[in-house]
Chain A
Amino acid sequence: MTSTTDAAVSPTTAEATASTAADPAASTPVPRSAESRGALLGYLGDTLALAGRHLIHLRRSPGRLVLVTMTPLVMLVAVGYLFRNSMNVPGGVPYEDFILAGIAVQVGLSGVGPTAIGVALDLRHGLVDRFRSLPIAPSAVLIGRTLADLFVGAVSLTAVSLVGLAVGWRPHEGVLRTAAGFAVLLAFIYTMLWLGILLGTTQKNVEAIDGTGALVLVVFSFLSNAYVGVNGLPEWLRPVAQWNPVTAVITTCRRLWGNDPSGAAGSGFAADHPGVVAAITLTAILVIAVAGSVRGFEKAIGR
């Protein structure tokens, strides 16, 4: 049928041939559980294997962990310590208490850029092509990354809280409400990761992503009540800050922790129901980002 198999083999390749000539069918006694495993279990296995890849990355190159942890800590020191006397918080809450929720959201915001860059580099290095040529769900690749990145977020959130405790932050509403506050923060961090993935799949230029990531960090945190109450902002910016999902998340956490001075969230519906605003805006961002990312990933063209 073919003429190539019996083509002459030069002496230099004879040895290589000897070691490779074995019938691949015979040399693969390796069992495959392809059909026997359920689809959902298979999907979970894929996701965990891919998350494992990022955890190895983290061990070999811990830059992401450092960045995502240092950004909030630097802000905590800069704002919470150096400028604390020029910041006036309405309503008699210690600034250490007030600031922590505002710092904690930065764990989520500072993760956007690195996640986006990770996705863009996978595209550039052809790994996305490789994964897309496998019979696995595209979403497994992306969810695997978010799981690993969420782990990073959780670690740096822990670090930020511990440093916060050391400089005087205290939650005042009991264990359950404290934990609920952290759950809200994790939901926020996870949503931001998908924003990063959307950025990475749609914008391939790494430098541009870097810039956009920095912009997201600055704009979302300064146009919120992270450092000052909404009423401390110029009047025309107040509605923007009030409806900013970051403000909603921060206010929710502050209320769960008993760190919320009156008026820090402004007034009106967004101020009265920060939990509702946070839930709706984060869900909306998540749905749009997931849909856009999966679509972008399926259409993605390496180089």
Chain B
Amino acid sequence: MTVASSDPAILAEGLQKQYRGHTALHRVDLAVPAGTVLGVLGPNGAGKTTTVRILATLVEPSAGRAVVAGHDVVREGKEVRRRIGLAGQYAAVDELLTGRENMVLLAKLLRYGRRGAALRAAELLERFELTDAADRTVGTYSGGMRRRLDLATCVIGDPQVLFLDEPSTGLDPTSRSVLWDVVRDLVANGVTILLTTQYLEEADALADRIAVIDAGRVIAEDTPAALKRMVGSERLEVTLARPESLADAVAALATLGSAQEPVADPATLRVSVQLDRGGLDEVARAAVALREKGVDTVDFEVCKPTLDDVFFQLTGTGQKKESRR
């Protein structure tokens, strides 16, 4: 239904953005195939919003080029705008209008006509569970309701490419799951989505591929699974009942023969060790070794690497995380 060829729906090559001597983007390259979701992760100030704004034609890049839905963002801005939806980092809704009036206005601007706009507004208000509040002014909405309205407005025009800048910030779990469903639904219908997020679990759940941006550069781009593999294998974490058994526990876990020595944290009474081979065998051997030393445990868990680990490791805040484990 949308772009049928193999051209990526979003393509960025060497994007650079300078603001008065200060460089917000050094070099951003992205390629998002049609009908997939790219999750963009990065610490505050990394350049996520700047990237989204360039791709959505709001800001011109200082260098590099970007093609969205088959059109150049600088030279064919209007063609791009016909095919995209944008939900900025902050909800852009008119507080003095009701939810319905906001929707109808934008639907009219997207040329639905008077009656069509009313229908489209009602349909999306329903879908984003705002029907009950539809005729109250947005000034009376909660933060999450505003966010939902904002998201509803950016799918009015059936965009081919959707940019969502931290869409789930401020949403409660129910609203977030509505959002996730909408995203999956859109993707199932061939929409391409670029979403930035602070929630690694969200990127994990929704994104086909993840780009990690730090200080204006893409420092990693891969599938969530591959990124997690990069960080390492599973680890075993044992929380002890008594501080005296700390040394015994370390000795017991050392018998597993991991490449790294077990790490003990006296403050939390936690000992952790890398599971090189993984699997039940190694866990069973650890349990037996601990039992033989007479170590009492209150907690015993196998941790898979999460995107949090990826994030901390790639963006150089890893030390803090390591010491905790």
Write the residues of chain A forming the contact surface with B, with a CB cutoff of 8 angstroms.
1-5, 7, 9-10, 12-13, 16-17, 19-21, 23-25, 27-28, 30-34, 37, 42, 45-46, 49-50, 52-53, 56-57, 60-61, 125-127, 129-136, 301-303
Contacts and interface: CB of A to CB of B under 8 A. Distances in A.
Contact of B86 (A25, A28, A129): A129
Nearest to B116: A30
B37 A4 contact: yes
B27 interface: no
B93 to A, nearest CB: 8
B26 interface: no
Contacts of B157: 134
A16 B58 contact: no
A28 B207 contact: no
Contact of A32 (B56, B84, B95, B110): B110
Contacts of A5: 184, 187-188
The A interface, classified by DSSP as helix, strand, loop or mixed, is loop
Contacts of A21: 181, 185
Interface in B184-238: 184-189, 205-208
Contacts of A3: 208
Contacts of B207: 4
Contact of B181 (A16, A46, A126, A302): A16
A143 to B, nearest CB: 13
Contacts of A131: 109
Given A57-B96, A127-B94, A25 B189 contact: yes
Interface string B106-146: 10111111001001100100110100000001000000000
B177 A12 contact: yes
Contacts of A32: 110-113, 116
Contacts of B105: 49-50, 52-53
13 contacts: A4-B206, A16-B177, A20-B178, A20-B182, A24-B185, A30-B112, A31-B112, A31-B116, A32-B110, A32-B116, A133-B86, A134-B109, A134-B110
Contacts of A53: 94, 97, 101, 105
B88 A130 contact: yes
B1 interface: yes
A1 B111 contact: no
A16 B178 contact: yes
A210 B177 CA distance: 43
Contacts of B57: 132-133
A61 B58 contact: no
B182 A31 contact: no
Interface of B: 1, 35-37, 53, 56-59, 78, 81-82, 84-86, 88, 90-97, 101, 105-106, 108-113, 116, 119-120, 123, 126-127, 129, 137, 153, 155, 157-158, 173-174, 177-178, 180-189, 205-208
B177 A4 contact: no
B111 A34 contact: yes
A7 B205 CA distance: 8
A302 B178 CA distance: 28
Contacts, number: 148
B111 A303 contact: no
Contact of A19 (B96, B127, B206): B127
A50 B106 CA distance: 9
A51 B93 CA distance: 16
Contacts of B123: 27-28, 30
Nearest to A126: B92
A130 B177 CA distance: 24
Contact of B81 (A34, A60, A135): A135
A33 B94 CA distance: 25
A130 B37 contact: no
A4 B181 contact: no
Contacts of B137: 60
B75 to A, nearest CB: 14
A46 B113 CA distance: 10
Contacts of B155: 24
B96 A56 contact: yes
Which of B37, B91, B95 lies at the interface centre, i.e. has the most chain A CB atoms within 10 A of its CB?
A: B95
Nearest to A1: B35
B86 A130 contact: yes
Given A10-B177, A12-B177, A133 B108 contact: no
A134 B78 CA distance: 8
Contacts of B110: 32, 34, 134-135
Nearest to A53: B105
Contacts of A27: 123
A24 B127 CA distance: 11
Given A33-B111, A34-B111, 5 more contacts: A25-B1, A126-B91, A131-B109, A134-B110, A136-B109
A9 B96 CA distance: 37
Nearest to A54: B96
Contact of A130 (B92, B120, B158): B92
Nearest to B111: A34
Contact of A13 (B1, B101, B177, B189): B177
